[in-house]
A and B are shown apart, each in its own frame.
Chain A
Amino acid sequence: MQGTQPDGPSAGNAQAGDTQPRPNSLRSGPDARGRFGIFGGRFVAETLMPLVLELDHAYAEAKADPAFRRELDYYLKDYVGRPSPLWFARRLTRELGGAKIYMKREELNHTGSHKLNNVMGQILLARRMGRTRIVAETGAGQHGVATATVCALFGLKCVIYMGATDVERQKPNVFRMRLLGAEVVPVTSGAGTLKDAMNEAMRDWVTNVRDTYFLVGTVAGPHPYPEMVRDFQSVIGEETREQMHAAEGRLPDIIVAAIGGGSNAMGIFHPFLDDASVRLIGVEAAGRGLDSGETAASIQRGRPGVLHGNRTYLLQDADGQIDEAHSISAGLDYPGIGPEHSWLHEIGRAEYVGATDDEALAAFQLCTRTEGIIPALECAHALAHVAKLAPTLDPETLIVLNVSGRGDKDIFTVAAHLGVTL
């Protein structure tokens, strides 16, 4: 339906499950093998394969069940607090002096980020499947907090794997998760970041297959996770479409979002994939610079490979060993990216650029000072790119920045970089 009305949202198609993409739509992926072009798939050990197939089946059933949709809508509205506003950033627009900048306020969701959109959907699915124990990986802790939150809400056992380095730099979120009743397990293998937490969560899942649900936080992992997480996050883009239509009477020209695994970006991009006039820009964490050797920019500095259940762009050496990523933002500190992004990159539908640690820090302060919004360091990367782009564009151009999370969790990191002792 959206394909036949490219210039505006149509009433009644705001939900994730009920839009039928056109036959030649870019929104129809993945295929039956879970692939977006050559990317995606199901590269897991045999022990997990039957579980992945069961999940695929259970998700397809839930997706087709109006009762599941109604239940999810109820929680999204009354617990998560959706819809989130689309805010015209007046002072930021004036300060940058160019394109008109809107902010999609995902940081206003309960738990302070877009993560709860996906977690809410998956926890309802886990309950449908009769699972009683939830495991999840987390980087910045936003996904861990969201997961611990819904486990508290439904009285489920919750184990969160978090790299030891991240446990150290995200202390407020670690405390939050423990308050919520979750067991937080610091992972010391590797560099102790998100990649290692993902390995450890997979090891837990393979060990506790009978009662455990692995609640993946991003649009990566074996099929159906990339598709399912995207579907649950697409509410961001669907609302943006309607809200922009109400505010400006047309589609936005440019959408900018930060990318680690890429779930907030996929969520806001996906409903616009068939609208060729909308530029989609994903901002990867360049770390200390794209060519510094200390980066998390998987698309710009990686090449396709297989890790954590899917084929996608990965930072790796010539022998296929996975490199450690680097970013000031724990949530972007991952050497891979969701497979659908890899595909969108290869077909040229979305652009992928980088923002460095320093640029993100400057954007973090800019946003706080001009809009009174303290953004997460993750989405500060997206804002850093907007700050470069907006001044080059005319005032008629409409940019949407996805403010995927709030930055309270990052104030210690930012203070340390600014030389302030708290």
Chain B
Amino acid sequence: MSPASGRPSSRIARRFAALKEEGRGALVPYLQACDPDYDTSLALLRAMPGAGADLIEIGVPFSDPSADGPIIQAAARRGLKGGSTVGRVLEMVARFREGESDTPIVLMGYLNPIEAYGVERFCADAARAGVDGLIVVDLPPEEADLLEGPAAANGLDLVRLVAPTTTDARLPVVFDHASGFIYYVSITGVTGTRTASSDELAAALPRLRAATDLPVAIGFGIRTPDQAAAAVRVADAAVVASALIATLEDSLDEDGRATADTLPRVLGQLGDLSRAVRAARK
């Protein structure tokens, strides 16, 4: 791998390298921490690798998720009600790591809770808990210097977002200090709304490939196994978030508590997505 591909020793880099050997793309499911409670969330997290997750994104609940659509907004509210704090999220990752050392964990969230925890302390504790990468939605490259040093010092990959609005001239700015993988936000919009067409994706990827050697994940708007398969035909990974959370939400009882159906339904859907992703390039 070229130096631009980040630290070859990182768990994220190892996972993408292994999948490349296998000749398939990655499925990246998302869950919101403590949605609807800590125990359910931890149980779901632990079961995800077995159900086909190649990497896992954990949403860190924030009171004002201004880049998220209604489904993840509701999940964040449930997560906060379910007792989520930054400290609890890190504790959950540490518990997950007790029995799992291969599946990379990426935390996705907003800057303010990280700052409230303390940026340096957060990066140190996250690395110790077994977190591999960070996606901070409201931290564009222009402001990212506050996180780049502490993340690098603790071996955390800083995953950069690229959007359809990102110009070619801007790509080098975005990719500077990027590591782990690139997250392509495939639509202009919030999470869980519109889906990009395969033509749009096919047009978008070459300009990213020309500017980076890092793996590219596609997110925002991937809901079905077919869409996930289409994504990994052009990219290295498909992120599925709102579709899984909608299933989780639908499985809750009228008081918003988890039921016996919650895990089987979410994991069943994850299995369907995983089979489609694994068969996509065959």
Contact = CB atoms under 8 A, between A and B. Distances in A.
Contacts of B67: 45, 47, 202-203, 206
Given A50-B170, A195-B64, A202-B66, A45 B188 contact: no
B74 to A, nearest CB: 9
A46 B166 contact: yes
Interface in A197-242: 198-199, 202-203, 206-210
A131 to B, nearest CB: 14
B188 A49 contact: no
A300 B188 CA distance: 38
A318 B112 CA distance: 11
A159 to B, nearest CB: 15
B149 interface: no
A316 B116 contact: yes
Nearest to A318: B116
Given A45-B137, A307-B112, 4 more contacts: A41-B142, A49-B166, A309-B138, A321-B62
B165 A319 contact: no
A308 B137 CA distance: 12
A33 B165 contact: no
- The contact size tier of chain A is 35 or more
A305 B116 contact: yes
Interface string B32-53: 0000000000000000000000
Nearest to A203: B190
Interface in A299-337: 305-309, 314, 316, 318-322
B66 A306 contact: no
B162 A46 contact: yes
A321 B143 contact: no
B116 A50 contact: no
B200 interface: no
A308 B138 CA distance: 9
A313 to B, nearest CB: 12
Interface string B52-64: 0000000000111
B113 A321 contact: yes
A44 B112 contact: no
26 contacts: A42-B142, A43-B138, A44-B140, A45-B137, A46-B162, A47-B164, A47-B189, A49-B166, A49-B170, A50-B170, A189-B73, A190-B63, A199-B64, A202-B66, A206-B67, A305-B115, A307-B64, A309-B138, A314-B112, A319-B116, A320-B86, A320-B116, A321-B62, A321-B112, A322-B63, A322-B64
B268 to A, nearest CB: 30
Specify the main secondary structure of chain A where it touches its partner.
mixed
B122 to A, nearest CB: 10
Residue from the set B65, B86, B185, B189 with the largest chain A CB neighbour count within 10 Å = B189
A43 B137 CA distance: 9
A321 B80 contact: yes
Contacts of B140: 42-46, 49
Contact of B163 (A33, A47, A202, A321): A47
A316 B114 CA distance: 13
A308 B143 CA distance: 14
A51 interface: yes
A199 B113 contact: no
Contacts of A309: 138
A190 B63 CA distance: 8
B63 A45 contact: no
A45 B189 CA distance: 11
B2 interface: no
A195 B65 CA distance: 11
Contacts of A41: 142-143
Contacts of A42: 140, 142-143
A308 B110 CA distance: 11
A319 B113 contact: yes
B247 to A, nearest CB: 21
Contact of B161 (A45, A198, A203): A45
A46 B64 contact: no
Interface in A268-310: 305-309
A321 B143 CA distance: 20
Interface in B56-95: 62-67, 69, 73, 80, 85-86
B142 A49 contact: yes
Contact of A43 (B62, B63, B111): B111
Contacts of A207: 188-190, 193
Interface in B147-170: 160-167, 170
Contacts of B115: 305-306, 320
Contacts of B164: 47
B19 interface: no
Interface string B100-139: 0000000000111111110000000000000000000111
B163 A46 contact: yes
Given A51-B165, A321-B80, A43 B174 contact: no
A206 B190 contact: yes
A44 B161 CA distance: 11
Contacts of A316: 112, 116
Interface in B190-249: 190, 193
A180 to B, nearest CB: 27
A320 B66 contact: no
B116 A46 contact: no
A198 B65 CA distance: 11
Residue from the set B66, B112, B115, B142 with the largest chain A CB neighbour count within 10 Å = B66
